[in-house]
Structure 1
Amino acid sequence: MIDEAQVPQTQPSREARQWAMFCHYAAFFGLVFPFGNLLGPLIVWQIRRESDPYIDQQGKEAVNFQITVTLAMLISCVLMLVIIGFLLLGLVTIVALVLTIIAGIKANEGVPYSYPFTWRPLK
């Protein structure tokens, strides 16, 4: 759940909303670079996190989700030895794609988005 103390009570600025959206959509670097899905949001968040609390909160959420996705994909790759991993890898990919798109849209609307099924090592 999102901690209400970390979320700004006023509507974030247009620029903050765009950078929060970029934090989520930077995960698509994973289509080009290995582990780009993790590095893209991490880099964008690190560069812009101090400029606005909304960017910081959404950047952490994006990085936490991509950590979870990366771990799920690695587990799926191991499970390919017993065939079920192929199905799981496809499922993880589709769910990650859909949830990332939803998160980017919500972030651009100024609505704090919290990914479901996410391990949150970054607080």
Structure 2
Amino acid sequence: MACEFQSSSKTEIMQTTNYNSTASIMHMSTFSQYLFPFGNFIFPVIIWSSVKDRSAYVDQQGKEVINFQLSIFIYQVVLVLTAIPIFLMTILQHVEFNSVIHDNEIFIRSIRTSGFPTLAIVGIVAVFLAACLQLFEFFMTVYAAVKTSNGQDFKYPLAIKFLK
């Protein structure tokens, strides 16, 4: 009976270690976004969906990964949709083109710009925040992978709970 307990205990430890590793790999798989478009969604979902029924821990961490990645995506889309129109408005309102049309060709002789508009600062701040958000995502993902490899629960800050 003692041997039975020890072998089942070893099996549980090995399964727990495997699930910790799976959770950690799931967090790290979000870095595939740098190689594949939407890899930060695709690979964690594949890993999560293949293991979620066998481990409550992997299920919970998979939801955390997906929620965080969706949240970061939404935040960045909002920032980019804020920055692009502001930059385009700024350029079109404050740049004067002096051009000549000759034989159906347009020749731009000069481009003059007037002062640095205050609205452009909002666009610059939006781009800066998007870059900071990307760095935040990188470091939080590494931190999450380390925590989950040790079997600790991890909850991303700023994550909207799409999956509960």
- Give the TM-score taking structure 2 as reference length: 0.65
Percent of pairs with identical residues: 26
Report if the CA contact (8 A) 1:20-1:58 is conserved: yes
5+ residue gaps, structure 2: 1-11, 87-122
- Pick one of 116, 132, 143 that aligns with 1:102: 143
What is the letter of the counterpart of residue 92 of structure 1? L
Pairing of 1:1-123 with structure 2 (within 5 A):
13-81=16-84, 82=86, 83=123, 84-123=125-164
Match of 2:96 in 1: none
Query: Partner amino acid for 1:65?
Result: F
Letter aligned with residue 75 of structure 1: V
CA offsets 1:1-55 (integer angstroms, 9 cap, x no match): xxxxxxxxx9871100000111111111111111211222112111111121111
TM-aligned CA deviation for residue 57 of structure 1: 0.7
Could you tell which deviates more after superposition, 104-113 or 85-94?
Answer: 85-94
Structure 1 consecutive aligned stretches of length 4 or more whose deviation exceeds 4 Å: none
Tell which structure's C-alpha radius of gyration is larger: 2
Query: What CA deviation, in whole Å up to 9, does each residue of 1:33-83 have, x standing for no partner?
Result: 112112221121111111211111111111110110111121121122232
Look up the equivalent residue of 2:27 and give its one-letter code.
Answer: H
Give the total of aligned pairs. Answer: 114
The one-letter code sitting in structure 2 at the alignment partner of 1:118 is A
Structure 1: gaps (5+ residues): 1-9
